[in-house]
């Protein structure tokens, strides 16, 4: 059986047209984009300007509001640490959400050690925050609200327009980690008053190790000091020689993103088939608005780790994180009050524009058969069938 890749929220295959645009900058046109005294340097510089424009055009912002980074993790660190430092005099309080990506949560935990207060908004069983609670949690000393656009594990989409409007009304900066959202959903920054936003190219068929940070130009400029100090690259926000091929790839990857109705059709087919054929399985946050490509499914009374190793030809993710040598249940599911047993039995399927109908059908057959096999040998499943456990 050939390989089936259903782990596109982790990373995606590079689009051939993206690679084609990058290659000249890895081969013949290798100039340093800051060396504008000669032609090769100018070529690289112009390629970066074009990439910046491609991103800005797609997001509905100005070119000088886009800064290239090594990806979302770096951008998140730059913003959270930078705002905490630059706004110390205004306040020492940040609001985020319990189901954010670890890049946000780990950085917030570090800031807490430095005396910054962090409010972690809870999510309900559908993965949603309470907007009233968000509004009520904003204090006089709140400097930043950091809430993602779409969750990488469940695909749950947050109401970013409403969040942005609350923050605008309360005069607090809103930072949106849109790493899973850009390229899957349309976003126009002329219409939604998000102050700061980030995403990563490798989630949208671009190269790894590059992403972008949007910082809105406002009459009261947003203060974010450099995380990586060095030369004057990116207006001094990020020192270091420009990674020209990656930046070119990022621009192209963003430019070619477009809505793809097929992905939702295949994702829905996957869910319909699995839910109807596998007893005791359910989709997390099924009632929430979700990304069209994502389905996080619990196969009750089975360890997802065992399920995955029994289907080595399918690339999936369990959403669990390995911390201190022990496998922890997904913090996202825990935040949604999913029981540990169900969290450990969950597998994330994430599709892309390259996913084919036949791959979905083959993956369904494989999952159905493997779940049956594992359960047939499982004492826990027997206990469940005998009505001795829930
Ligand atoms: N934020 C979200 C929601 C993500 O899914 C990811 C990727 O896993 C990141 C941040 C980190 O992105 P990067 O790999 O560019 O550092």
Classify residue 7: in a domain, yes or no. no
Q: Which of 61, 108, 281, 322 is catalytic?
A: 322
Instruction: Over range 89-108, report the average pLDDT.
Output: 97
- The residue contributing the CA closest to ligand 1 atom 7 is 10
Instruction: Over range 113-135, report the average pLDDT.
Output: 98
pLDDT number for residue 320: 64
8-17, 89-98, 321-330: lowest mean pLDDT where?
A: 321-330
Residue 323 pLDDT > 70: no
pLDDT number for residue 321: 62
Please tell me whether residues 195 and 213 are part of one structural domain. Answer: yes
Domain end marker among 256, 290, 306:
256
Distance CA 373, CA 357 (A): 25
Is 176 catalytic? The answer is no
Classify residue 356: in a domain, yes or no. yes
- Grade residue 319 by pLDDT with cuts at 50, 70 and 90: confident
* Cβ within 8 Å of residue 58, ≥6 positions away: 254, 255, 257
- Grade residue 326 by pLDDT with cuts at 50, 70 and 90: low
Please tell me whether residues 142 and 168 are part of one structural domain. Answer: yes
Considering its fold, how many domains does the chain have in total?
Answer: 2
Judge if the beta carbon of residue 101 lies within 6 A of ligand 1: yes
Which tokens is 55 given?
């991103």
Model confidence, pTM: 0.96
Judge if the beta carbon of residue 200 lies within 6 A of ligand 1: yes
Instruction: Over range 273-299, report the average pLDDT.
Output: 98
CA of 375 to the centre of ligand 1 (A): 34
The atom of ligand 1 lying closest to the CA of 71 is: 15
Classify residue 1: in a domain, yes or no. no
CA of 200 to the centre of ligand 1 (A): 7
* Cβ within 8 Å of residue 117, ≥6 positions away: 92, 93, 94, 141
pLDDT number for residue 268: 98
Judge if the beta carbon of residue 301 lies within 6 A of ligand 1: no
Classify residue 8: in a domain, yes or no. no
CATH value at residue 312? 3.90.1150.10
pLDDT number for residue 1: 63
- Grade residue 281 by pLDDT with cuts at 50, 70 and 90: very high
Please tell me whether residues 240 and 265 are part of one structural domain. Answer: no
Judge if the beta carbon of residue 72 lies within 6 A of ligand 1: yes
Residue 266 pLDDT > 60: yes
pLDDT in tens, 341-354: 999 999 999 999 99
pLDDT number for residue 87: 95
Instruction: Over range 193-216, report the average pLDDT.
Output: 98
Helices (H) and strands (E) in the chain, counts: 13, 14
- The residue contributing the CA closest to ligand 1 atom 12 is 72
Give me the count of residues in the chain: 390
Please tell me whether residues 246 and 274 are part of one structural domain. Answer: no
Residue 324 pLDDT > 60: no
87-91, 98-102, 325-329: lowest mean pLDDT where?
A: 325-329
pLDDT number for residue 2: 85
Judge if the beta carbon of residue 180 lies within 6 A of ligand 1: yes
Instruction: Over range 68-73, report the average pLDDT.
Output: 97
The atom of ligand 1 lying closest to the CA of 148 is: 3
Q: Calculate what percentage of the chain has a pLDDT beyond 90.
A: 94
The atom of ligand 1 lying closest to the CA of 201 is: 15
Classify residue 11: in a domain, yes or no. no
Which tokens is 183 given?
């390229």
Please tell me whether residues 363 and 274 are part of one structural domain. Answer: yes
* Cβ within 8 Å of residue 107, ≥6 positions away: 76, 77, 80, 81
Distance CA 271, CA 283 (A): 8
pLDDT in tens, 161-185: 999 999 999 999 999 999 999 999 9
CA of 73 to the centre of ligand 1 (A): 6
**Domain membership of residue 320 as a residue range:** 260-386
pLDDT in tens, 11-60: 999 999 999 999 999 999 999 999 999 999 999 999 999 999 999 999 99
CA of 298 to the centre of ligand 1 (A): 23
Classify 353 in phi/psi space as left (phi over 0), alpha (psi -120 to 50) or beta: alpha
The atom of ligand 1 lying closest to the CA of 100 is: 3
Domain end marker among 190, 221, 256:
256
Residue 5 pLDDT > 60: yes
Judge if the beta carbon of residue 69 lies within 6 A of ligand 1: no
Distance CA 313, CA 295 (A): 19
CA of 210 to the centre of ligand 1 (A): 11
pLDDT number for residue 222: 94
The atom of ligand 1 lying closest to the CA of 103 is: 10
Residue 146 pLDDT > 80: yes
CA of 202 to the centre of ligand 1 (A): 9
Please tell me whether residues 85 and 129 are part of one structural domain. Answer: yes
């Amino acid at each position: 059986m050939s390989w089936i890749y259903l782990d596109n929220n982790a990373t995606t295959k590079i689009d051939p047209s993206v690679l084609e645009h990058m290659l000249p900058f890895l081969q013949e046109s290798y100039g340093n984009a800051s060396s504008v005294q000669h032609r090769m340097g100018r070529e690289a510089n112009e390629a970066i300007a074009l990439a910046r424009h491609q991103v800005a055009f797609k997001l509905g912002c100005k070119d000088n509001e886009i800064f290239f980074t090594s990806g979302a993790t770096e951008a998140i660190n730059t913003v959270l640490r930078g705002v905490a430092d630059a706004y110390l005099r205004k306040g020492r309080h940040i609001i985020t959400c319990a189901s954010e990506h670890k890049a946000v949560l780990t950085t917030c935990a570090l800031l807490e050690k430095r005396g910054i207060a962090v409010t972690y908004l809870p999510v309900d069983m559908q993965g949603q925050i309470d907007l009233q609670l968000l509004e009520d949690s904003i204090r006089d000393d709140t400097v930043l609200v950091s809430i993602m656009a779409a969750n990488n594990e469940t695909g749950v989409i947050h109401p970013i327009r409403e969040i942005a409007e609350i923050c605008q009304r309360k005069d607090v900066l809103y930072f949106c980690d849109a790493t899973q959202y850009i390229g899957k959903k349309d976003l126009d920054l002329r219409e939604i008053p998000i102050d700061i936003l980030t995403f990563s190219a490798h989630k949208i068929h671009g190269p790894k190790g590059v992403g972008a940070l949007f910082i809105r130009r406002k009459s009261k400029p947003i203060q974010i000091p450099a995380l990586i100090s060095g030369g004057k690259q990116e207006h001094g926000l990020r020192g270091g020689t420009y990674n020209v091929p990656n930046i070119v790839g990022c621009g192209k990857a963003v430019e070619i993103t477009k809505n793809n109705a097929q992905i939702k059709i295949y994702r829905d087919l996957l869910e319909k088939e699995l839910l109807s054929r596998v007893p005791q399985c359910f989709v997390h946050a099924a009632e929430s608005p979700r990304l069209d490509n994502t389905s996080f499914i619990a196969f009750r009374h089975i360890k997802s780790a065992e399920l995955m190793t029994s289907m080595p030809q399918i690339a999936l993710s369990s959403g669990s994180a390995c911390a201190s040598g022990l496998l922890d249940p997904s913090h996202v599911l825990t935040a949604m009050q999913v029981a540990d047993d169900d969290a450990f039995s969950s597998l994330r399927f994430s599709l892309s524009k390259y996913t084919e109908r036949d791959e979905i059908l083959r993956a369904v057959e494989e999952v159905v058969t493997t779940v049956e096999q594992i359960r047939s040998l499982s004492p826990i499943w027997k206990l469940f069938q005998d009505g001795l456990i829930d």
